[in-house]
Amino acid sequence: MSAPELDARTAAQLAFLVEADQLKSVERANPLIDGSRRENSAEHSWHVALMALVLAEKADPPVDVGRVLALCLLHDLVEIDAGDTVPWDVEGRATKADREAAAADRLFALLPPDQAVTFRRWWDEFEANETGEARLAHAVDRLSALIVNHASGGRLWREHGRTEAVARARNEQLGEWVGALHPLAQALLDDAAAEGWFADP
């Protein structure tokens, strides 16, 4: 890439946005619903933000939807350096926090200094998962895996021989984050169990 003539602020914003393009090449374990391929982290982030926009009304007390969308758009950006770490990668999970923090250090520093601080604060808010906005973002992120797996006929669960107990344990947290989303997660899991998409325990 050659260097267009820009003021320092705009040049920094452009550099960040060009770097961000790489999230389109980070492959996740989850499939597209039609089963044609696995999804990548950029299109997943779009789907999660759309889920937040549709399901924000379930948050109690109400949340700042604009900030939830910002958290959803940014939540996986660190995977450009750190990759997607799947739940069953025990070794990877031990180093996940450190690898992702290093990625956040590098990526957000591409922005102009004041935006680097703001964007990092949003990512830290998502990671800490203490505000209502972060909890909703976490809940729809978790829900997205459940929705695409259920709608694709339990593809990932069947491929990985996932047991019902493991899937349910993973989704109990979701109800702690946003109680009103628990019945949806529960209904999808009940249906998956009835369909026989889980492995024997």
Number of continuous H segments (helices) and E segments (strands) in the chain: 10, 2
Instruction: With beta carbons less than 8 A apart as the criterion, state whether 192 and 157 touch.
Output: yes
Structure tokens at 68: 């939830």
Count the residues in the chain: 201
Give the SS3 label for residue 176: helix
Q: Which is nearer to a second copy, 26 or 82 (CB)?
A: 26
Distance in Å, CB of 47 to a second copy, minimum: 7
Distance in Å, CB of 1 to a second copy, minimum: 5
54 binds a second copy (CB under 8 A): yes
Q: What is the helix (H) or strand (E) element at residue 28, kind and residue range?
A: strand 27-31
98 binds a second copy (CB under 8 A): no
Q: What is the helix (H) or strand (E) element at residue 83, kind and residue range?
A: none
190 binds a second copy (CB under 8 A): yes
Q: In the stretch 114-133, what mask flags binding to a second copy with x, by CB under 8 A?
A: -x------------------
113 binds a second copy (CB under 8 A): no
Name every residue whose Cβ is closer than 8 Å to that of residue 118 and which is 6 or more positions away in sequence.
none
Q: Which residues bind a second copy (CB under 8 A)?
A: 1-7, 10, 13-14, 16-18, 20-25, 32-34, 36, 39-40, 42-43, 45-47, 49-51, 53-55, 64-67, 69-70, 73-74, 111, 115, 147-148, 150-151, 153, 183-184, 187-188, 190-191, 194-195
